């Protein structure tokens, strides 16, 4: 059993004092007692503790190119998402299983340091560099599983269906050759990962769903096949990230992406619509009615010039949502939440919009609680915070560090979410076990060497 005593902990949407957290042997909270003195034993005493959050959208291999696409390419007069995508393909064609495993472990330890305790890996690298199947078709998936296990983070692996190069264009481009797969492939990989979790006794840390890359990459029949064969596991899809994508969808399918999914497929609580940047109020209302959710990645959406998601409308409609770091230009949940709020402030020239549209007092609380609730739905694990039956994840904050030093105790969440710089965790527990959140020297050296080699 794990026991933690917290002078202050975020419980049920507010700060509580004198909180004793007790987990069972399986790694779930068994008792949570508020208003008690610290035990007179070796129970760790922590100053300020928050639940771990879910990173609901990750492409681990893209960590190798973070910050390396910030210069104009000489033969392109401008730059946009589609230009960035071509540079991303360069890395996708180079990285092998060993390199992916190193990159993922490095990234996952960064996530733990920041306060993420679970990651949803939207994984579409399946074949070798030449486009041929590995002897073990799950070779790259298993590299991610090993990386997450070594880091200590929870992993929801989402093997991703990718079949076509674009709307009305069957088959993949040569630069997309590593993504090729079928509905049977992704459902088979899903079953394999679920079986791996069961046989290893790690179901509280490892599970699987499936992802559909996008409507431009997967046709309607394939979408229905996967949805019908998946069971109750999470189902993710990129949708409406770019205006060009929306326009092409209307031209080829006769409806906007979210409209088409609502009308032609039918959404439910398994579905997580990643980005959903360019959605109208009636589409957000439809998402809310269906029980589906959206996954927002504000720093990547800003970095790629995607546009602004209508967050105030989503809050008013009661849309469930979570956050992800996507291409990993940022790896800290607080910065994602800041950008989510600040983007709206820049657009609307108002303040504390999340609090206003959620009819609450604290912007930070609305953002944190929304990410906590939506993250649990996105990953398919019980990660609802400090409540009995939820997974025993906890993040201890360093109250003596500059961002929190001198901040009144009831404003610490405001300082953690909205302050600068983004504060690293002091210590982290996942499923009741304390993680070693810092990479060792061997991992540091390997990471530095391989990043240089991947970029030439």
Establish whether 414 is a catalytic residue: no
Establish whether 411 is a catalytic residue: no
Closest to 125 in 3D by CA, of 73, 167, 63? 63
How many C-beta atoms surround the C-beta of residue 360 within 10 A? Answer: 15
How many C-beta atoms surround the C-beta of residue 284 within 10 A? Answer: 23
Q: Of the residues 123, 126, 275, 332, which is catalytic?
A: 275
Residues 282 and 256: beta-carbon distance below 8 Å: no
CA distance 167 to 301: 22
Handedness of CA 353, 330, 154, 144 (dihedral sign): positive
3-state helix, strand, coil in the chain (%, to 5): 40, 20, 40
Q: Of the residues 236, 326, 332, 393, which is catalytic?
A: 326
User: Residue for token digits 């790690």?
Assistant: 202
Residues 263 and 255: beta-carbon distance below 8 Å: yes
CA distance 14 to 121: 30
Please list the residues that pair with 29 across neighbouring strands.
23
How many C-beta atoms surround the C-beta of residue 186 within 10 A? Answer: 29
Structure tokens at 393: 């994840």
Which uninterrupted H or E stretch holds 31? strand 29-33
CA distance 51 to 53: 6
Q: To 10 degrees, what angle do helices 139-151 and 183-200 make? A: 40
Residues labelled catalytic: 275, 326
């Amino acid at each position: 059993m794990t026991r933690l005593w917290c002078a202050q902990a975020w419980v049920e949407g507010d700060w509580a004092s004198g909180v004793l957290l007790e987990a069972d042997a399986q790694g779930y909270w068994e008792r949570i007692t508020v208003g008690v003195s610290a035990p007179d034993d070796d129970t760790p005493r922590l100053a300020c503790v928050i639940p771990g959050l879910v990173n609901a959208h990750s492409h681990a291999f893209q960590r190798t190119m973070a910050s390396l696409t910030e210069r104009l390419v000489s033969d392109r007069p401008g730059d946009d998402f589609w230009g960035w995508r071509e540079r991303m393909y360069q890395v996708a064609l180079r990285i092998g299983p060993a390199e992916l495993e190193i990159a993922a472990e490095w990234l996952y330890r960064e996530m733990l340091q920041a306060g993420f305790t679970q990651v949803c890996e939207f994984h579409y690298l399946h074949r070798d560099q030449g486009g041929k199947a590995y002897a073990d078709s799950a070779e790259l998936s298993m590299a991610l599983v090993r990386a997450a296990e070594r880091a200590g983070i929870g992993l929801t692996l989402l093997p991703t269906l990718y079949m076509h190069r674009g709307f009305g264009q069957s088959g993949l481009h040569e630069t997309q050759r590593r993504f090729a797969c079928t509905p049977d492939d992704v459902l088979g990989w899903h079953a394999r990962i679920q079986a791996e979790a069961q046989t290893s006794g790690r179901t509280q840390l490892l599970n699987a769903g499936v992802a559909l890359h996008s409507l431009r990459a997967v046709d309607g029949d394939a979408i229905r096949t996967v949805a019908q064969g998946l069971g109750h596991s999470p189902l993710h899809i990129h949708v409406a990230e770019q205006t060009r994508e929306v326009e092409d969808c209307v031209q080829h399918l006769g409806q906007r992406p979210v409209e088409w999914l609502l009308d032609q497929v039918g959404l439910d609580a398994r579905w997580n619509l990643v980005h959903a940047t360019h959605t109208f109020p009636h589409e957000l209302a439809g998402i809310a009615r269906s029980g589906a959710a959206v996954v927002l990645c504000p720093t990547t959406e800003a970095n790629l010039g995607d546009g602004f998601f209508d967050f105030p409308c989503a809050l008013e409609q009661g849309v469930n949502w979570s956050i992800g770091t996507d291409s990993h230009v940022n790896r800290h949940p607080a910065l994602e939440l800041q950008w989510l709020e600040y983007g709206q402030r820049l657009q609307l020239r108002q303040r504390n919009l999340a609090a206003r549209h959620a009819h609450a007092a604290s912007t930070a609380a609305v953002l944190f609680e929304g990410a906590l609730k939506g993250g649990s739905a996105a990953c398919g694990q019980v990660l609802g915070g400090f409540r009995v039956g939820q997974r025993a994840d906890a993040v201890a904050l360093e109250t003596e560090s500059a961002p929190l030093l001198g901040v009144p105790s009831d404003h610490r969440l405001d300082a953690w979410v909205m302050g600068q710089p983004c504060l690293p965790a002091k210590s982290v527990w996942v499923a009741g076990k304390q993680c070693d959140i810092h990479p060792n020297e061997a991992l540091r050296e390997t990471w530095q060497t391989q990043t240089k080699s991947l970029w030439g």
